[in-house]
């Protein structure tokens, strides 16, 4: 099992700790420890009725401002974020016995940033963004593949435009929680909460 970072989980340490810097430290370790998609996360949203929803997404960018991801604004998650622009994320790094939970408000990133990322994606992924009416009923897989074939012909020799509904989002954290597995389920949990421009931290029971 991975050793805990003493400077973070030492109860006698009262110095200032930036949760994003700690996330960067843990994510850096995860990129070497996890065989597949260390940037995978669960994204949880809520619909108009208050019913929660969740799915696995990929983190496509990060900064002290927040965690960036992309998707179809007309999908279930896009509609839910439009109605209630708040969300939660969970990163689970199984090989390191660690997870990070994030809660916050969600905002759209600029169209220019979305364009830049869209055109950095593989050709097939750009085509699929046009072909899929995400989350909506599909008559058959053959219908989807036929649509893909038509788009491949249409954009055979030119740049593929970003669909207007394909957008980027940034979750701006107001709460971070870092969890490290402990023996006999005596896990270490530390929660950081934003208060104005500062972060306070609190150890939690396992």
Question: Which positions are annotated as active-site residues?
Answer: 185
d(CA 20, CA 97): 19
Containing 182, the helix (H) or strand (E) segment is none
49 burial level (CB within 10 Å; 0-12, 13-18, 19+): exposed
* Coil/strand/helix, residue 62: strand
Backbone torsion region of residue 37, taken as left when φ is above 0, otherwise alpha when ψ lies between -120 and 50, otherwise beta: left
Q: Determine the distance from the C-alpha atom of residue 59 to the mean position of all C-alpha atoms in its chain, rounded to a whole number.
A: 4
Contacts of 158 (CB under 8 A, 6+ apart): none
Number of helical H runs and strand E runs in the chain: 6, 9
φ/ψ of residue 58, rounded to 5: -115, 135
Report how far residue 171's alpha carbon sits from residue 25's, in angstroms, rounded to the nearest whole number.
19
């Amino acid at each position: 099992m991975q050793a805990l970072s003493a400077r973070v989980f030492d109860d006698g340490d009262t110095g200032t700790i930036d949760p994003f810097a700690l996330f960067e430290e843990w994510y850096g370790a995860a990129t070497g420890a996890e065989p597949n998609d260390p940037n995978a996360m669960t994204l949880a949203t809520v619909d108009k009725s208050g019913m929660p929803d969740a799915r696995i997404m990929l983190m496509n960018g990060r900064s002290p401002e927040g965690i960036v991801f992309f998707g179809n604004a007309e999908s279930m998650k896009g509609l839910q974020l439009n109605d209630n622009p708040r969300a939660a994320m969970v990163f689970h790094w199984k090989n390191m016995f660690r997870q990070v939970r994030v809660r916050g408000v969600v905002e759209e990133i600029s169209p220019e940033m979305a364009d830049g990322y869209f055109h950095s994606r593989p050709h097939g992924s750009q085509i699929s963004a046009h072909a899929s009416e995400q989350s909506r009923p599909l008559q058959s897989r053959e219908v989807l593949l036929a649509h893909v074939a038509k788009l491949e012909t249409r954009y055979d020799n030119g740049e593929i435009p970003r669909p207007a509904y394909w957008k980027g989002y940034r979750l701006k954290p107001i709460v971070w929680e870092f969890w490290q597995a402990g023996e006999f389920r005596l896990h270490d949990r530390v929660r950081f909460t934003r208060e104005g421009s500062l972060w306070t931290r609190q150890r939690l029971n396992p």
